[in-house]
Structure 1
């Protein structure tokens, strides 16, 4: 019985944090050796970090990565390890995986297919490796094979698909299959997006079945470089069967997901199903004795919160949002060495959601690491070292400030205070009305007239939002903390935010999520909660309110959805117009289908027209938003996903075509049909 114990090693890395990254890798290797692992796969670019950006151009980056590699090699006694790093060959940089066995480098495999969409920009820094090619790289006195390589250890053939390699139709695994591969390693840096784990599971399972092999997939973990979140997804499959699946969204520095693969079962699959076979001239063989191990029962078991069927997802998206953004906030806090978070808590949905997410970061980290482990992880924050409960930690790490004017209601003040009290955050309630009046008086004197709501509506709203920013920044600087911007994606789409007001902050945690989902998520968090266990009852106040900016006089009864449009409609228009690139006319056809019997044609036309006009004139705002976390594949961040000109024609021609179409359809007395 040929049994091999393998593992995926998840690590939480930081770009260019050489010593920390190296120690995480070494710690992972040492733990694998303790567990008698024979083959360990670590994620893509785990030595340097994935998000080094243009520092991949710097020769020193590749040189330092090789220095770190040499140190790592010394810790691989009795084990085979794959570790990722950037590699420079002939003045070109490649995304490579190094295979080490028993303290010796055996060779480097380079990525063939580079990710170059959305948040990924690999073709800027790396060259794709040509299929079938091989060269040599000299490191010190020795030369090592590099390129499209298969490794053979004690008759066991090991090959690679590096991240994007597995996402294309003609994936390298097909060629590996023709060469009699036994084990395929997939070291990845695959960004988190809602429900993406199900797609990964399919290609891992299908790859192991189609290629008659064992397949080991391992992803990076955490908020590595600022925007992208990695979930630590790890899966090991064999001949079409998922053997194990690892923990996602962990707060640990590193951990293992292990399984025992049965070579005899793989060989039987190969004998029964292999149609052709060809030998490879790019096989690197070396001696390695896989130890005899006793059989174990591999248990494929998802975490309790993930057990919903993919076809009946339930609250999977809500769970993933909470866990992904909470982990991202925790990592951003510790990697920036900040002393806590500051949120301008208005009592509305956005700031309440961010406050709740900060609290969940503390709650979930303590549940996994324990109080002492949590404090050790944030050992540089001296003020928390005497804390003994999550509530005490919340008080030290989360600061809320409510800044009211004469236009603020008791409802929002009570909502803010109720949440802060429930979570035991530090809460300040200050009145800024006199500051607003002073600014108004200065400008009124300068221009020689009084400012009036009839003629100066936007100006009078914006000054209230902007006046809040200096106080929040001052408090943030006093605390040496992170100021979190409170704008969401729906506001970003139409520019319903005040620059240097509610957009102020160093990170914008919810700028990647729409307001329609966010309001639903807050109700879910109050009543159902993470894993059905962690709820926040202090959200009751905000969940009972209509979203409002509260910038006009109270008697105006300002409501966001009246200023803009219903949030469910705004979300669908954004999806159609920006994600799917549909014209205003096509958007109208789709909206009439989607909202039949809910909104009138006139309401749909006005909303679509408003959306396209506001989208076009507010690109400059999106360019200035604080960096946001990427959570789904229709982000609006112009620096990483959705590029649009700052100055444009504003869709004038396209909107005219929509109005003509609507008028003609009305004249003919018919309803439009979906036509795309």
Structure 2
């Protein structure tokens, strides 16, 4: 006999400290869940406050307002007759915890604190919260008076317990706990928990969704059970983008999957399943049964509600959800969608009137421009699908709040909110100027084309007046010092002009407000330090700051077809160049020549340095195996030493990086994702000596081996 259960998990675009907006989105998700026939609703991690509050979790106000929001939820008629699971921070015995609060009909049933905290990469949960380490133990939590007056309760259980309804048992697993080797779901399953819930604040990174799905599939394949996964979505005030993708799985198979990238503020994911399939799965595993009878018991908190319905008594409400394979985006689609959604959130919440981008005619700024165009495309599609929040935000951005304006054409929307400018000098080529103009025409941006030689000349005139000397380029006989200074003053002048245009262009067009300046430095150049400090990479935000040059090239190849932008072929064929030095018959400046390393090599260095956690000697040792078939050990040694020299002398530049969309696992983002020093002994005396000794030793062995072979 089947017992069917309809469960709801949701993805919310919450905003740090936006208590009013967060409350409204939570309430909307509960209403949608009830309309779908669900009797249990799960929300994302810290949904009441927003996940990215950071040091605001130190403030008493954050906890006060969280309880106030919970009080409104407890008294809402929408929340009646449903088991509801919300996330908020809670202080217990003067210790702060990241918690789930489960309630039913104005009664709080359980406060479940997080047991394993995320404290790596972009996460710093141990800075604000303690982990609950009293396994299978609950204590009395004394409720605030505003809650006592509503619930009539003075204390509620606080700790590691599970919820027992009339017909099944639910257990909580909070975000990081899924990723740990000894995950709670294993122990909960042996104690009879049939429904696992995971409230998450998980950010987007290349292919990270694969990891999440693999872990959940493995958990429910091994233990049997239903698994609900909720996640934040959007930019809640951080460099990261929470990529949604709510999931429901049963016995290792996906039965419901939400969108990974969306402009929706509220997305509900529901599924109807026969819980008897879980019991059947577990019942034919004698080895599981022998472990289960010995498993320690969890405290059970009773919820006076039945989650299942009997089709023979209640009728068929909705058919069982069918299993289907996971849906994944390609890396190129991830680049198109993730940064575009992040930009939309940042734009609409910052109250700016659009974007300004210095468009150089090169691949990086082209990629940034295409991502903005992709954002416009997503906005138009959402508006055409009737998303009222997107329509309202778009009207406000373009100054049409009192009209019936609906964005329909991405080029038209781009012309209203996207502003580009080619900032040429005497060293700029006709080819880059034309490419920038053609791209702007294709994307529909409001485009300017200027020469800034007079600005650069003004700076040089001031310097010459003060010192009596005027620097000249190396190709004209100048020194390396002069050559670098002359390049940097061009780049820095562009930054000043970019902010001037960003502040005044809307005024020129008869509209109020200002624009956000976009940067376009890729992760490889940032790692190497191949950019001028305080040049046009010093922007408000940078959508490609976590993406490699190699991935950007693949993205443009994809966007050429997907977005119908044939113009992108011109950018793919062009040689990367900064165009800051004079072009002669004998010399054309090239990025990879300037850097003394290729973009492919930089991706390898970045991965080994950050992901594999290699120092100079460790990197050299690994590359001996990877590159040894085509390079001599001494050549590999020189490449590794060159990288670490330039990385270390330029590391200080990362301290002024604009907030970038985090996408790469080897992002050098200072003081957030990458906690390495910015001041080094760039000689790396001990490390480089060990590399040289190792390279010489390996070459001697190789030479001896060759000689021995010749002798035979």
TM (normalized to structure 2)? 0.88
CA–CA distance in structure 2, aligned partners of residues 79 and 637 of structure 1: 43
CA–CA distance in structure 2, aligned partners of residues 546 and 29 of structure 1: 53
User: Where does residue 285 of structure 1 map in the other structure?
Assistant: 302
- Cα 1:369–1:639 change in 2 (3 A) is farther
User: Where does residue 310 of structure 1 map in the other structure?
Assistant: none
CA–CA distance in structure 2, aligned partners of residues 629 and 637 of structure 1: 10
Residues 37-436 of structure 1 mapped to structure 2, 5 A cutoff: 37-73=38-74, 74=76, 75-130=78-133, 131-137=135-141, 138-140=143-145, 141=148, 142=153, 143-273=155-285, 274-275=289-290, 276-277=292-293, 280=297, 282-290=299-307, 291=309, 292=314, 294=316, 296-301=319-324, 306=327, 316-370=330-384, 373=387, 374-383=390-399, 386=405, 388-436=408-456
CA–CA distance in structure 1, aligned partners of residues 536 and 82 of structure 2: 53
Q: Cα distance, 1:190 vs. partner? A: 1.1
Q: Cα distance, 1:583 vs. partner? A: 3.7
Match of 2:654 among 604, 617, 622: 622
SS in 1 for 2:116: coil
Q: Cα distance, 1:436 vs. partner? A: 0.7
SS in 1 for 2:51: coil
CA–CA distance in structure 1, aligned partners of residues 358 and 175 of structure 2: 40
- Cα 1:281–1:491 change in 2 (3 A) is closer
Q: Cα distance, 1:575 vs. partner? A: 1.8
SS in 1 for 2:11: strand
Q: Which moved more, 1:43-52 or 1:195-204?
A: 195-204
CA–CA distance in structure 2, aligned partners of residues 492 and 152 of structure 1: 52
CA–CA distance in structure 2, aligned partners of residues 350 and 384 of structure 1: 32
Q: Cα distance, 1:302 vs. partner? A: 6.3
CA–CA distance in structure 2, aligned partners of residues 280 and 569 of structure 1: 54
CA–CA distance in structure 1, aligned partners of residues 304 and 202 of structure 2: 33
SS in 2 for 1:128: coil
Q: Cα distance, 1:482 vs. partner? A: 0.8
Q: Deviations over 1:71-118 (max 9, x none)?
A: 122231222121111111111111111112234322211110001101
CA–CA distance in structure 1, aligned partners of residues 222 and 450 of structure 2: 64
User: Where does residue 574 of structure 2 map in the other structure?
Assistant: 545
Q: Cα distance, 1:635 vs. partner? A: 1.9
Q: Cα distance, 1:293 vs. partner? A: 5.7
Match of 2:603 among 564, 568, 571: 571
CA–CA distance in structure 1, aligned partners of residues 519 and 615 of structure 2: 31
Q: Deviations over 1:143-164 (max 9, x none)?
A: 2211111111113111100111
CA–CA distance in structure 2, aligned partners of residues 414 and 598 of structure 1: 40
CA–CA distance in structure 1, aligned partners of residues 260 and 109 of structure 2: 31
Q: Which moved more, 1:352-361 or 1:235-244?
A: 235-244
Q: Deviations over 1:473-516 (max 9, x none)?
A: 01111241110112111111121111111222111221112222
For the pair 1:561 / 2:592, whether they are aligned, the reply is yes
CA–CA distance in structure 1, aligned partners of residues 53 and 628 of structure 2: 48
Q: Deviations over 1:314-351 (max 9, x none)?
A: x7111112211111111111111111111111011111
Q: Cα distance, 1:424 vs. partner? A: 0.6
For the pair 1:661 / 2:694, whether they are aligned, the reply is yes
User: Where does residue 511 of structure 2 map in the other structure?
Assistant: none
Is the CA contact (8 Å cut-off) linking 1:251 and 1:369 kept in structure 2?
no
SS in 1 for 2:614: coil
For the pair 1:507 / 2:507, whether they are aligned, the reply is no
CA–CA distance in structure 2, aligned partners of residues 293 and 431 of structure 1: 74
Q: Cα distance, 1:574 vs. partner? A: 2.3
CA–CA distance in structure 1, aligned partners of residues 205 and 31 of structure 2: 31
Count of aligned pairs = 658
SS in 2 for 1:127: coil
SS in 2 for 1:477: helix
Q: Deviations over 1:15-59 (max 9, x none)?
A: 000000110111111111111111111111011000100111111
Q: Cα distance, 1:620 vs. partner? A: 1.1
User: Where does residue 462 of structure 1 map in the other structure?
Assistant: 488
**Considering only aligned residues, what root-mean-square deviation do their CA atoms show, in Å?**
2.1
Is the CA contact (8 Å cut-off) linking 1:573 and 1:591 kept in structure 2?
no
Q: Cα distance, 1:187 vs. partner? A: 0.7
- Cα 1:369–1:297 change in 2 (3 A) is farther
What runs of 5+ residues in structure 1 fail to find an aligned partner?
Answer: 308-314
- Cα 1:405–1:602 change in 2 (3 A) is farther
Q: Cα distance, 1:62 vs. partner? A: 1.1
CA–CA distance in structure 2, aligned partners of residues 91 and 424 of structure 1: 56
Q: Cα distance, 1:388 vs. partner? A: 4.4
User: Where does residue 509 of structure 2 map in the other structure?
Assistant: none
SS in 2 for 1:469: helix
CA–CA distance in structure 1, aligned partners of residues 129 and 554 of structure 2: 41
SS in 2 for 1:570: helix
What runs of 5+ residues in structure 2 fail to find an aligned partner?
Answer: 507-513, 706-712
TM (normalized to structure 1)? 0.93
Is the CA contact (8 Å cut-off) linking 1:29 and 1:40 kept in structure 2?
yes
Q: Which moved more, 1:133-142 or 1:581-590?
A: 581-590
CA–CA distance in structure 2, aligned partners of residues 590 and 392 of structure 1: 51
SS in 2 for 1:378: helix
For the pair 1:516 / 2:521, whether they are aligned, the reply is no
CA–CA distance in structure 1, aligned partners of residues 39 and 208 of structure 2: 29
Is the CA contact (8 Å cut-off) linking 1:4 and 1:293 kept in structure 2?
no
CA–CA distance in structure 1, aligned partners of residues 671 and 436 of structure 2: 33
